Amino acid sequence: MKELTDIQKEAEKLLESINDLNDLEKVRLRMLGRKGSLTVFLRSLKDVPLEERKKVGPKAHELKETIEQTIRDLERSIKEREMQRQLERERIDVTRPGVRREHAGLHPLARIERRAVRIFERMGFSVVEGPDIETEHYNFDALNIPRDHPARDMWDTFWLKDGGATSEENRLLLRTHTSPVQVRYMEEQTPPLRIVVPGSVFRYEAIDATHNIQFRQLEGLLVDHAVSVANFKAMIESFFEEFFGTQKKENPEVRLRPSYFPFVEPGFEVDVWHNGVWLEMLGAGMVHPNVYKAAGLHPDEWQGFAFGLGVDRLAMVHYGIDDIRLLYENDVRFLRQL
Amino acid sequence: MRFSYDWIGEYVDLKGISAEEAAEKLTMHSFEVEEVLKEGSDHVFHIDILPNRIPDASSHIGVAREVALLYSKTFTPPNPQIQEDEHITADAEASVSITDTDRASRYSARVLSDVRVEESPSWLKERLELLGLQSVNNVVDAANYVMLEYGQPLHAFDLDAISGAVQVRAAKKGETITTLDGNTLELTSDDTVISDEKQILALAGVKGGVSSGVTEKTTRVLLESATFERVFVRNTARRLGVHTDASTRFSAGLSPANTVRALNRLAELIIKTSGGRVASGVLDEYPSPPPARAVAFEHEEVEQFLGTSVSYEEVERILTGLGCQVHTEERKIQVRLPEARPDLERAEDVFEEIGRITGYDKIASVPLRSELHPARPDEHRAFRETVEDTLSALGFWQVQTYNFVSEDDKALEAHTHDDRWELVNPISTERQFLRRSLIPEFIRVIQRNQRFSESFGVYEVGKVYTKQDESPHERWSVGIARAEARAEGAENLFLLFKGTIETLCEKLGILEIWFDDVISKDDPLPPGFHPTRSAIVYTEGNTKLGVFGELHPAVADEHSISGRVHMALFDCGALREEALVDTLYKEIPKYPPVKRDIAFLVSEETRIADIENVLYNAGAEHLIDVDLFDMYEETGEEGKKSVAFHLIFQSDERTLESVDVEAEEKRIKEALIKKLGAEIR
């Protein structure tokens, strides 16, 4: 029978020349496997007299532990070495170009419209929409713009042929502004109310860098018991602060100057201070009593303001686009930029 | 409208106020001065006088009054001095009447004799030319001058060319007039004329006739200062396409209050520049002077409305400066509104005047105090945003196209054409109809972009319009298109596009859609779709959602589109109705699935949908999914193709054993052989 010391020497010799995990496993089997040297030795201890067993037994077990520990350590260091080799082999040149998946996005008009609508939603404005094909009544008469009034010349209208459902007194047209929805909404809902109305509007215009036959507007209407021009100013200032992301400066950010729209009284143009200049951004005013009447409301009970913002114009200001036609050309190179 | 800065300065002291300053002040308080141009020693203002202020401010006096009020200076309008000749009386020389009183609310006239008509003095010519008017002779020029001064259009007739009584009346159909510029206009009863017993002298409110015009031969003049009804003047001007300084002013609705003042000023000016005598008396037809108008309000209302306080003294100063009469009675401010301001009707109009003169910059912002209610979202809009965001994420660019199309586009929209909306007044034939489909514009977008991009995808969620029972129908449509310039891999491109649609529907919660290429005559494919590479998309419950497929090669050819284009059109409303808003949690399977593969040959025409049908209906109760992973046609056998599927079996109750699965596999194989004549490999 082998002596324990021989077994130890055997183990030491074998463990010196380990190259990889395969070798290690072979050694483990040789020494500690079912027929391994040490295993056999430990099994043979049952035939050894007790005195000797007491002496050799513990040493044998100690050797077993030592061999096991050494095997574990070797396993770990071999694995580490092999890992290092693998990592180095797997080196990639990170400066190689990535393979891209095209991300695409919203049209700038949609993005601007959403942004503006969200700001108003945060101020408690509900979003309402209305039809593109409108009646003369809602587009003009109900907004205090009677037929044959020169104010009608302020909006060049596209008229529709053969609208059998309407009469000569109430012809069909493409809406020239989103204001008709003010009346439509007030017919259905009693104030207090706050709404914004996004939508496409249509004007008979020669198309050039700043004019188009179709563009997007965002109408706003707020009606309550006691509403003043000062309230309008505060609200529109809040909007532009949010939209352009500026802090309130010493100079007023918005200024109101007199203008005229038949459905408001007084009427204003609102200019916004942006990038060092005053920009005309929207028309607004206090809702005209005749508009309340057209909606079936009592003008003495309510006060409110209305405004109309050109989304195309806002987009042009925001992105620095100088030609409105670009927004309708849909050149993907243009869309990608924004 | 153009105004001379120096001329304004004749009615208000502008010392120390530069033209630019005055322009800025007017813009902030009255009307927008679009441009200030230096002309010699003077400045010309280009002011956008809006329709509500044309009656009172389309004149140098009107603008001067504003300036005076804004700078708290004295306003000194002209004070015409006439020396009437008692030997001639106006009513002996001429007679005027308003026959149709709906056409004119006032007609004032004077008679001048011994007038010397010649070239105007240079100061008069210069002033007119500065403001864009041509000099004619000293009488006509004087009339234009006073129009620019007072805002009241005036006309001078050669009295010797007039026979008998002059009247304002509706024209008769077929009557004509040859105007001062030589054009002959044909009139209808909607037009209004000044006529005598023999002929038509002028087109009222628009232009004078050549036969009664003032020339160097004229010695006796009839001066007209009238108020013609705005509706008639506007319609006449528009119908005949003749727009003049006079018609612009009358169309806005002038007040009759100014006629005599302006008339006297004209007489004074003519005497000064052409000599002559003024017949005594003014001929003034003024059948129904409008009643005085007044409003009353409490002082507090001003602050309530504007949100800033204005002292009573300031309110009085402002309103008085505008021509109102102000006094207090029973705690209320009573305001008599000036005749010259027909745009002022109610208290709000007066508050506007107070507000703008005070200056809107004086109004500090005050946030509204009110109840807070959460804004109600528009659900349809929220749905459209989900569609937009999903398509953007799938690599498609959102486009914004025009809602108008041309006559030719109808071939691409639909098969019938009696449901289109046509414009009465399109700007061009390209934009003559409202679109019924997004396809025509998409084709243009693709055509344009193909010059620069090889591969791109676009979408739009936009409205389409049809006529149904003579009524307008607007619907939101979702259009998607993908263009690839390279020609190969067409089938793969088709499948990729189909995958996009499936993903979109899945994202919207529309599961289990199916594709029908058996197109019926009642519901054909829209034009432009490749007939053997397109399908109608249905839900499980057979609701039609839309259509998708490849662009018809003939259409691609016609529009010079290269490569392959795939398109889809969906009705947004249908998508929305079928979409699931929220799903409920379903327990994740507890037991592992068992996977088996099966490969077999079938005839080339056998469709995948049919094979899947057979697989699911073969009586394999634990078959939960099949997945086509291989298909090829070069099988070596004529008319056959090879397909291979993963079959996935799973139970809710236990882990399946091989023996369970084998039995079901057998049933599947039998079904394939029996129903499809498959050769299992």
What's the pLDDT score for residue A251?
47
Beta-carbon contacts of A199 under 8 Å, excluding residues fewer than 6 positions away, are: A129, A130, A132, A175, A178, A181, A216, A217, A219
Question: B 34-63 residues with CB below 8 A of A?
Answer: 50-54
Is A306 part of the annotated catalytic residue set?
A: yes
What's the pLDDT score for residue A249?
54
Helix (H, G, I), strand (E, B) or coil at B39: strand
Is A30 part of the annotated catalytic residue set?
A: no
Q: pLDDT (tens digit, 9 = 90+) per residue, B229-268?
A: 999 999 999 999 999 999 999 999 999 999 999 999 999 9
H or E element, residue B475: strand B471-484
Is any Cβ of chain A less than 8 angstroms from the Cβ of B600?
no
Burial of residue B396 (CB within 10 Å: 0-12, 13-18, 19+) is: buried
Residue B616 and residue B672 in contact, taking contact as beta carbons nearer than 8 Å: no
Determine the residue type at A104. A
Helix (H, G, I), strand (E, B) or coil at B31: coil
Residues of B in contact with A257 (CB under 8 A): 27-29, 32, 356, 360
Is any Cβ of chain A less than 8 angstroms from the Cβ of B205?
no
Dist CA B462 CA B477 (whole Å): 5
Is any Cβ of chain B less than 8 angstroms from the Cβ of A278?
no
Dist CA A261 CA A144 (whole Å): 9
| Residue B179: C-alpha distances to residues B159, B213, B577 (Å) | 17, 9, 65
Q: Give me the torsion for CA of B192, B197, B198, B201, rounded to 10°.
A: -40
Nearest-Cα distance to chain A for B162, in Å, is 32
Is A217 part of the annotated catalytic residue set?
A: yes
Angle between helices A108-122 and A229-244 (to 10 degrees): 130
What's the pLDDT score for residue B154?
97
Residues of A in contact with B427 (CB under 8 A): 204-207, 213
Is A273 part of the annotated catalytic residue set?
A: no
Is any Cβ of chain A less than 8 angstroms from the Cβ of B103?
no
Dist CA A187 CA B461 (whole Å): 29
Question: A 92-111 residues with CB below 8 A of B?
Answer: 101-107, 109-110
Residue A172: closest C-alpha in chain B: B472
Nearest-Cα distance to chain B for A335, in Å, is 7
Dist CA B326 CA B353 (whole Å): 14
The secondary structure of residue B529, as a DSSP letter, is E
pLDDT beneath 50, residues of chain B: none
Dist CA B564 CA B489 (whole Å): 9
Give the full edge-to-edge strand order of the sheet including B397-398.
Answer: B397-398, B455-468, B471-484, B564-571, B544-551, B529-538, B514-516
Is A84 part of the annotated catalytic residue set?
A: no
Q: Pick from B230, B376, B425: which is nearest to A158 by CB?
A: B425
Catalytic residue, chosen from A217, A227, A287, A313, is: A217
Q: Give me the torsion for CA of A283, A285, A289, A294, rounded to 10°.
A: 30
Residues of B in contact with A129 (CB under 8 A): 378, 380-381
Residue B360: closest C-alpha in chain A: A256
Q: Pick from A128, A165, A237: which is nearest to B471 by CB?
A: A165
Is any Cβ of chain B less than 8 angstroms from the Cβ of A165?
yes
Dist CA B429 CA B382 (whole Å): 35
Catalytic residue, chosen from A142, A201, A227, A306, is: A306
Is A177 part of the annotated catalytic residue set?
A: yes
Dist CA B669 CA B617 (whole Å): 12
Smallest CA-to-CA distance from B48 within B66, B27, B64, B71 is with B27
Structure tokens at B1: 């409208």
Beta-carbon contacts of B28 under 8 Å, excluding residues fewer than 6 positions away, are: A255, A257, B359, B360, B361
Chain-chain contact of A106 with B388 (C-beta, under 8 angstroms) = yes
Give φ, ψ of B385 to 5 degrees.
Answer: -65, -35
Residue B490 and residue B566 in contact, taking contact as beta carbons nearer than 8 Å: no
Smallest CA-to-CA distance from A231 within A286, A191, A189, A185 is with A286
Rounded to a whole number of angstroms, the distance between the first and last alpha carbons of chain A is 86
Helix (H, G, I), strand (E, B) or coil at B545: strand
pLDDT beneath 70, residues of chain A: 1-2, 163-166, 246-252
What's the pLDDT score for residue B638?
83
Q: Cis link prior to A192 (omega < 30° from 0)?
A: yes
Q: Cis link prior to A266 (omega < 30° from 0)?
A: yes
Interface test with B, best of A103, A293, A330 (most B CBs within 10 A): A330
